[in-house]
Amino acid sequence: MELYPHERVVTFIDGANLYATSKAIGVDVDYRSLLADFRKRCHFIRAYYFTAYLDDQEYSSIRPLIDWLDYNGYTLVTKPAKEFTDAAGRRKIKGNMDIEIAVEALQLADHYDHLVLFSGDGDFTCLVKALQQRGKVVTIVSTLSTPTPMVADELRRQADFFVDVVDLVKEFGREQIPVPPRTAPAVDEMAD
């Protein structure tokens, strides 16, 4: 990843998107090492982690990660997910954080030079273009290494740089530990 000591850098992590990506390639991101690397290589401003979760559940699979990130240098942007039943009678969870990511990126734009966005969501193409028009550099972190790419082609083409999570986790990843099936859908199964 192209980072320079003089650059003011922020990272925005689309939690549900990175979770789905890391699950698809079978690794977990080592968030501690990743943050330490950013702090070492550039004028690092802040790491934001965006996620929605069901706050009425007795136990949420995302809660331990949220708590750990909050205590270890990440700024959490969360909101309650909404649960509904679709026309086929299936339980769905909606908790898209796209608007929160876009608004935060634009509001903070005067305070950074380079945004590293961990997401492959094509909805961010317009955001990337708007930031570039303000003179910002944008790196997209996602993957092309799955049977169906996790990054939208238009987003990858618009970005100044693209980093494949597969390459990133060579330094900042570990194999996933199998988890027993859960009874309720997690954030990564949310509908848009």
Q: Which residues contact 42 (CB under 8 A, 6 or more apart)?
A: 3, 4, 5, 6, 7, 8, 9, 114
| Residues ≥6 apart with Cβ < 8 Å to 121 | 14, 17, 98, 152, 155
Range of the domain at 138: 8-189
Please report whether residue 3 resides in a domain. no
Lowest mean pLDDT among 16-20, 47-51, 68-72: 16-20
| Domain presence at residue 151 | yes
Contacts of 110 (CB under 8 A, 6+ apart): none
Supply the pLDDT for residue 4. 87
Model confidence at 182: pLDDT above 50: no
Q: With a cut of 60, say whether residue 44 has pLDDT above it.
A: yes
Residue 5 vs residues 1, 8, 30, 138: alpha-carbon distances, Å: 13, 8, 22, 16
Has residue 34 been placed in a domain? yes
Does 97 reside within a domain? yes
User: Does residue 176 lie in a domain region?
Assistant: yes
pLDDT of residue 80: 85
By percentage, how much of the chain surpasses pLDDT 70? Answer: 85
Q: What is the pLDDT of residue 189?
A: 47
* Domain contains 65: yes
Count of the separate structural domains present in the chain:
1
Give me the CATH number covering residue 160. 3.40.50.1010
Q: CA 73, CA 13: separation in Å to the nearest integer? A: 13
Mean pLDDT, the chain, integer: 86
Average pLDDT score over residue span 176-180: 51
pLDDT tier for residue 184 given thresholds of 50, 70 and 90:
very low
**pLDDT at site 169:** 73
pLDDT digits 0-9 by tens, 64-75: 888 999 999 999
Could you tell me the two tokens for 140?
A: 């997209």
CA 132 to chain centre: 20
pTM for this model (two decimals) = 0.84
- Indicate whether 1 belongs to any domain: no
Got the DSSP string for 54-86?
A: -TTSS--TTHHHHHHHHHTTEEEEEEE-EEEE-
Interval 90-123: pLDDT, tens: 877 777 899 999 999 999 999 999 999 999 999 9
